[in-house]
Chain A
Amino acid sequence: MTATLSTGHYPLPSDEDVEFFGLPRAALLILTGTGTGNDAAGWRACVDAAVETVAPSIVRVDRVGPGYVNWGGLRQVRAALLPIVEREAPELLGEEWLDAAWKMAEPYRAREVGVGYLAEAVTFAVTRRISRESHQSAQIIDRAAQALLRLRRSCPPFGGGLTLVIDDLHAWDRPSLRCLYRMVALARPTDRMSVVGFADAMGQPADRDPDDPGSRIPAARHRFFQRMASAQPVRLVAVAPSDPPGAGDDVRGAPAEQPVEADREDVPQRYDLLLLAMGDALVFQNYERVFDLARFALHRAADPDQEAQARRLIAIADAQLDDFGLAAQNLGRAARLTPDSGFAAHLHYLTGLIATKRHYDLDSADAAYQRGLAALGDPGEEEDVARRVERAWLHNGQALVLALRAKAAPDAETRQQSLAAAFDLELRAFSLVRGVPGAAPAYLRHNLMANLTFLLEISGRFDEAVSFWRRAFETYLAGDSREFEVAFDARLGLLLVKAGKVDDGVAVLQQARQVAEQVSDQFGEEELCLKLGYAHTAQGDHRKAYLCYLDALRLGSRLREPDICLDALVGMLWALADAGAREEFTAVCGIVARAVPDSPLAQRLTEATGAELDLAEALTTAGVLRPRPSPKLRAYIPGVDLEGTPTQDLNRYLVWGEGRLPQRPQQTLESDR
């Protein structure tokens, strides 16, 4: 690939900006043990890759314990590296960047870096949603991976590179596996940073027994390792299922499933703490641990309500793994088990969310919400707070269904009726929790205000949306939470652009980008670059739009996020088309063709590069649509969590989309995340 600078107005991406798409090296080799005793091809692939990446300094990592404990793998990496650092570079031990990574390997100190906040978030958000929330956990994983790389570069014995050898990768927890992946993905070729891991029991897509959460683990493992293997620096190598050199006799094979009658150090005795441990695992999308702990939780449940609590958490893990059938079964069983009608209502609410957000089946969603309301019965005059909160959430779910029905309405009158009914339900929900003390009602109130802003935006009442958003949330800017400031401004900036106050919108988005940069939230910053590209386009400043999209490409490339990079490339092409910069347009098309030749974008662009076509028309004809930013910042980072990307961004559809969403089959495909 060659980079040229044609006019200076539109600098083209350099090789470095797009190189990660095509890095040929495999730096995380997973030896699967699924080959035969004479698997010459497997070994050759292994050796070829190893010659490229394996460093002279090899460190063997001890085995992890049972239970896929959060960060158990990283803990063993620390144990393996620490003596070397203590001996060879003790001055590094006081470094803040290294300490931040080690904290994750020490459960009691992990809370200092925000895990307590994350665990709390489960109560408010993850159990109120079916989507994963991985932005914060991605930042922690990224920080740990960056620190390991920096250690490689700073510690003299690793000067020629570092290879970690791991005997039991199949038993590692997901956060640590993501950290390993992230470490090699971020490494430069000169780092010679690699991992060779044995994982001959990495699961398979086996049948799952709804009554045995342990039966989900092999399928979950298989899915995750396949996802890792599809990423650039990872390669699965089928070798014979024999012991790795130097390993003991009992290293290989699937981790034996511990009997649920046994005491295990990582499994809390108290039932409430056991459920909290499942919540901690969900926070890090550590699904195998959720399922493993769930075996104990179901076994120890002293009454139907305890079993229902455990089944709810299992269902959330199922849903986040796209296993919607099993999720629905668990939610249904939990709703039948619990004697608490408020909790039953919550379970019906989750079922309704799956129908809405994953199957786009609005009738089924409505039916689930009605079941929830039926479980609550007549509110009477003095309904307790917990039941009022659940009733309000059900109305909130019904309002989302109505908003989606409005989008698909055949005429303006029906659309208006649906939107009016949606407003009515949101306001009814709000009135149920108005002024009610407590964290759960407070979270719901804020959520409802965010949704009322959505409804104003969907109704095309942009000025009111701006005003409502500001008045609802700007008070909290005085709290000096930088994270809040970024999220608040990201939303406000786009609303201002839609309201025609484009210069104000640009200024607010620029401010948000600056704050994201100050707090080292690069995942937020790359998204803000995309939003700024859109805002500058609305301003008519195609050069600035192009440069913001180019910044998004560079950040996305550095962060190894192909989705962001592809969005950025599309934005760059549209900015060039708007500016009529044909020469640069053709050059960027060529870069896409070389960097990601198999992508749908590259294939479409071959239709858009005809000699005399109007560039914007050519892009439209080829199906490369003008970028429309998501109204909010993402709650998940697929480049780090490796759990995929939704095929439908519901928020984006609500504020930009036209017509009906395609209905999905009941058992949705893996890719629908």
Chain B
Amino acid sequence: MSEQELTAALEEVLASMTADLDEFEDDVETAARAVKW
């Protein structure tokens, strides 16, 4: 995977995460655990 391909793949990851905001409050708790653990 080239650097450009990796950058594009990471952008895709970030773009897809906006869907999670539908269940925002749950996601904050989930994110808190993931960030820490």
A contact residues vs B (CB 8 Å cutoff): 117, 121, 124-125, 129, 133, 135, 420, 423-424, 427, 430, 434-435, 439, 442-443, 445-450, 452, 464, 468, 471-473, 475-476, 478-479, 481, 483-484, 487-488, 491, 632-633, 635
Contacts and interface: CB of A to CB of B under 8 A. Distances in A.
A473 B31 contact: yes
Contacts of B1: 420, 423-424
B32 A483 contact: yes
Please give me the 4 A-B residue pairs with the lowest Cβ-Cβ distance, nearest first: A446-B34, A479-B28, A484-B32, A487-B36
A443 B33 contact: yes
B14 A472 contact: yes
A442 B30 contact: yes
* Chief secondary structure at chain A's binding surface: helix
Given A442-B23, A476-B32, 17 more contacts: A125-B33, A129-B37, A423-B6, A424-B1, A434-B16, A445-B20, A446-B34, A448-B13, A449-B17, A464-B7, A464-B10, A468-B14, A475-B21, A476-B31, A478-B24, A481-B28, A632-B35
19 contacts: A420-B6, A427-B13, A442-B23, A443-B30, A446-B33, A449-B13, A468-B10, A472-B14, A476-B28, A476-B32, A478-B24, A479-B24, A479-B28, A481-B28, A483-B32, A484-B28, A487-B35, A633-B36, A635-B37
Contact of A430 (B13, B24, B34): B13
A346 B17 CA distance: 25
Contacts of A449: 13, 17, 34
B23 to A, nearest CB: 8
A434 B16 CA distance: 7
A117 B37 contact: no
Nearest to B9: A427
Interface residues of B, number: 27
A452 B10 contact: yes
B5 to A, nearest CB: 10
Contact of A447 (B23, B28, B34): B34
A485 to B, nearest CB: 9
Contact of B16 (A117, A435, A468): A435
Nearest to A449: B13
A117 B32 CA distance: 12
Contacts of A448: 13
B35 A484 contact: yes
A476 B27 contact: yes
A484 B20 CA distance: 16
A446 B26 CA distance: 12
Contact of B13 (A129, A439, A447, A452): A452
Interface-centre pick from B7, B19, B25, B31 (highest chain A CB count, 10 A): B31
A430 B17 CA distance: 11
A76 to B, nearest CB: 33
A353 B18 CA distance: 30
A129 B34 CA distance: 12
Given A452-B10, A487-B35, A487-B36, A446 B30 contact: yes
A107 to B, nearest CB: 23
Contacts of B14: 468, 471-472
Contacts of A468: 10, 14
Contacts of B21: 475
Contacts of A476: 24, 27-28, 31-32
Contact of B33 (A124, A434, A475, A633): A124
Contacts of B33: 121, 124-125, 443, 446
Nearest to A128: B37
Contacts of B25: 479
Contacts of B34: 443, 446-447, 449-450
A442 B26 CA distance: 9
Contacts of A430: 13
A430 to B, nearest CB: 6
B35 A446 contact: yes
A427 B19 CA distance: 17
A448 B14 CA distance: 11
Interface-centre pick from B7, B21, B24, B33 (highest chain A CB count, 10 A): B33
Interface-centre pick from A133, A435, A446, A483 (highest chain B CB count, 10 A): A446
B37 to A, nearest CB: 5
Contacts of A484: 28-29, 31-32, 35
Contacts of A446: 27, 30-31, 33-35
A488 B6 contact: no
A636 to B, nearest CB: 10
Nearest to B16: A434
Contacts of A117: 29
A635 B34 CA distance: 11
Contacts of A443: 30, 33-34
B30 to A, nearest CB: 5
A302 to B, nearest CB: 32
A487 B37 CA distance: 10
Nearest to B13: A430
Contact of B36 (A434, A442, A635): A635
A125 B29 CA distance: 12
A558 B29 CA distance: 30
A475 B35 CA distance: 13
Contacts of A633: 36
A624 to B, nearest CB: 29
Contacts of A129: 37
A447 B17 CA distance: 12
A181 to B, nearest CB: 25
Nearest to A133: B37
Contacts of A423: 1, 6, 9
B27 to A, nearest CB: 6
A435 B34 CA distance: 17
A370 to B, nearest CB: 22
Contact of B20 (A125, A442, A452, A632): A442
A450 B16 contact: no
A281 B22 CA distance: 33
A435 B30 contact: no
Contacts of B29: 117, 481, 484
Contacts of B26: 439, 442
B2 to A, nearest CB: 9
Nearest to B19: A435
Contacts of A420: 1, 6
Nearest to A125: B37
Nearest to A475: B21
Interface-centre pick from B13, B17, B25, B37 (highest chain A CB count, 10 A): B37
